Amino acid sequence: MLSLVLIALTAAPAAAAAPAARPVPAAAPAARPAEDAKAFTIRLNEDLKRLWVRSSTAEWVKATYITDDTERNAASANEDVMAYLSGAIKESMKFKGQKMDPDTERMLYLLRVSQALPAPSDPTKRAELAKLAARLEGMYGKGKWCGANYVPGKDEKEDKKRCKDLIGLSAVLAKSGKYEEQLEAWEGWHTISKEMRGPYERLVTYDMSPADFEKETDRLWNQVKPLYDDLHCYVRSTLAAKYPGKVDPKGPIPAHLLGNMWAQEWSNVYPLVEPYKGQSSLDVTSNLKKNKYDEIKLVKLGESFFTSLGMKPLPETFWSRSQFKKPQDRDVVCHASAWDVTFSNDLRIKMCIKVDEEDLITVHHELGHNYYFMNYYTLPVLFQQGANDGFHEAIGDALTLSITPEYLKKLGLLAAVPNNDKGLVNLQMKDALEKIAFLPFGRMIDQWRWDIFSGKTKPQEYNSHWWELRKKYQGIAPASPRGEEFFDPGAKYHIPANVPYMRYFLARILQFQFHRALCKAAGHTGPLHTCSIYGNQPAGEKLRAMLAMGASKPWPDALFAMTGERQMDATAILDYFQPLQTWLKEKNKGQACGW
């Protein structure tokens, strides 16, 4: 996940309460010449950098030390940013229609689309909005489940033993394999969001701009939907055999049986659905432990991938300022994120790292954000973001496609490389359970949000609409009956934190398009799934050229710089997974696919 300007609450991570920025006139004066627009953007970048640095500092403190005080501090900083942006957006409108240089025009456009939550002009309402947003994220970060019959406060040691946070409950879903235990863990986590319903309903009254990507995402989704349908059909038939009478072989899959709290990625059911038992071991986690990897060594491994492409090492401050482990003495937001707190190469990651394959991939993903920051931090602050919502997320993901079995074997993390068709299908199944299974989830999150903020979905329909969309896109059903007394959307971080989610869907599309282009630059000529750009300097040069652009150009220009194409294209996914899709279609013959 990215924590950066124009992404979250106020177009920037929140910061400590700041001295007042330069005042912005409430009523814009008469239109001025084009050179005044340039002067305005110079002042704008100076003011925003100062406000966003203070705001991101407070947001970092809040995320790594959750208390009422740090939530209040972050809310105050967010309020300052909201006030400034609201005034600046109004003032910028006077320049519309005037001739100006491309950079100035681009900055004014980015300013106008910068707020995920447009701030009210009323100071009282603006303060409430900031507090609501900070409170919702804090409620998520502090969430724990202690059992149905739990009475708090009797014994502090027993409390700590019984009460499980998201990490502990997710481990049950990933490893238990017992229907009732998985059901209790799933239901337990979904209790933490019930109290969010009221604050979220209030948050919605402040309105949200409609997304521009809806038609484009439908086009991309329809390109890859047949592959998802094939995967769903095969996984469902296997689960129906394991849990007879519990899984409808013609219906949606119960959400708690896919090894992930949100059924967004299905990697943890791989041992159950493995196509060919007894082929080469793909157990990277065991080999990480055998090789005595700890949190720092895992991150160093990720860094070495980027330096192999000709990029600089991470700054020394990265190692002293990042959160790699979950502290034992306080609540933190463990959801992985990457930061440039001062917009000046102050790089950090915030994780509660587990030494396993999942977090090996996550580390590479988060460092992808950091290296994007590193390559554009000298630009004006309004240009310090990805070319569109999907680009930032796609960079690290694209590089994880180069973590091939050959690469892992070199590192001593795989005993052998799958060298036959059976081994290849196993490997692609494992990848598809993470990458393909995610696509409809990535598509539906913001659909739910758009429907809520547009007023299409009423407060009394929040939960039912959530499950309608999950069934429509994912073919997933709730683990147990869910009425409107629940607020299951709030059990997913990005809803209470108000982080737009479409970028993750676009990133899963773009990563394969990027990978195909980088492999071409690297001179790779074989099947796409066999390519790794590790150590390839020409591929690194092409990557750096795109990263350095930030948001200074429209995203089709950035896409063209990387790929030579100006339209997002999902066909690279089908190229990559062609061996698996052929196998799935054969395996699913005679099955009643769909739901």
- State the pLDDT at residue 233: 97
Structure token pair of residue 231? 């995967």
| Residues 531/515, Cβ–Cβ less than 8 Å | yes
Mean pLDDT along residues 104-125: 75
The answer to whether 196 touches 494, Cβ cutoff 8 Å, is no
| 8 Å CB contact between 200 and 490 | yes
What radius of gyration, in Å, describes the C-alpha atoms of the chain? 24
Buried b (16+ CB within 10 A) or exposed e, 452-470: bbeeebeeeebbebbbebb
The whole-model pTM stands at: 0.77
Q: What is the pLDDT of residue 22?
A: 36
Dihedral sign for Cα atoms in the order 278, 282, 284, 290: positive
Beta pairing partners, 338: 2, 349
User: Who's near 311: CB < 8 A, 6+ residues apart?
Assistant: 371, 374, 375, 540, 544
Q: Read off the tokens for 109.
A: 């456009």
Average pLDDT over the chain, rounded to an integer: 85
Angle between helices 462-469 and 197-204 (to 10 degrees): 90
Burial class for 158, CB neighbours closer than 10 Å (0-12, 13-18, 19+):
exposed
Residues 584 and 590: their CA atoms lie apart, in Å, by 12
Q: Which residues contact 455 (CB under 8 A, 6 or more apart)?
A: none
508's CB contacts (< 8 A; 6+ apart) are 394, 397, 435, 438, 439, 442, 573
The C-alpha atoms of residue 276 and residue 272 are separated, in whole angstroms, by 11
Q: What's the pLDDT band for 29 if we cut at 50, 70, 90?
A: very low
User: Using CA atoms, how far apart are residues 404 and 427, in angstroms rounded to an integer?
Assistant: 10
Taking the C-alpha atoms of residue 108 and residue 240, their distance in angstroms, rounded to an integer, is: 54
φ, ψ of residue 279 in degrees (nearest 5): -80, -175
Do the strands 253-254 and 347-350 form a parallel or antiparallel pair, or are they unpaired? unpaired
pLDDT interval class at 232 (50, 70, 90): very high
pLDDT tops 60 at residue 209: no
Whole-angstrom CA distances from 402 to 294, 305, 434 are: 22, 9, 15
Report d(CA 358, CA 363) in Å as an integer: 9
Taking the C-alpha atoms of residue 98 and residue 35, their distance in angstroms, rounded to an integer, is 10
Amino acid at 95: F
Residue that wins the pLDDT comparison between 358 and 126: 358
What digits encode the pLDDT tens for the residues 323-375?
Answer: 999 998 888 888 899 999 999 999 999 999 999 988 998 999 999 999 999 99
% of the chain beyond a pLDDT of 70: 87
Q: Where are the alpha helices (DSSP H) in 377-501?
A: 389-400, 405-410, 421-453, 462-469
Question: Which of 74-83, 133-142, 196-205, 475-484 has the lowest average pLDDT?
Answer: 196-205
Specify the range with the lowest mean pLDDT, choosing from 151-160, 343-352, 517-526.
151-160
Q: How far apart are CA 399 and CA 539, in angstroms?
A: 11
Alpha carbon distance 525, 534 (integer Å) = 15
Contact 573, 564 (CB under 8 A): no
Sort 340 into a burial class: Cβ within 10 Å, 0-12 / 13-18 / 19+. Answer: buried
What would the 3-class secondary structure string for 195-246 be? HHHHHHHHHHCCCCCCCCCHHHHHHHHHHHHHHHHHHHHHHHHHHHHHCCCC
Q: What is the pLDDT of residue 55?
A: 95
Domain boundaries, the chain: 34-140
Q: Which two three-digit tokens encode residue 279?
A: 């082929």
Does pLDDT of 193 surpass 80? no
Q: How far apart are CA 336 and CA 413, in angstroms?
A: 23
Name the CA dihedral angle for 365, 367, 361, 186, rounded to a multiple of 10 degrees.
-70
Q: Which of 14-23, 85-94, 306-315, 480-489 has the highest mean pLDDT?
A: 306-315
**Which residues, 6+ apart, have CB-to-CB distance to 41 below 8 Å?**
103, 104, 107, 108, 380, 382
Amino acid occupying residue 68: D
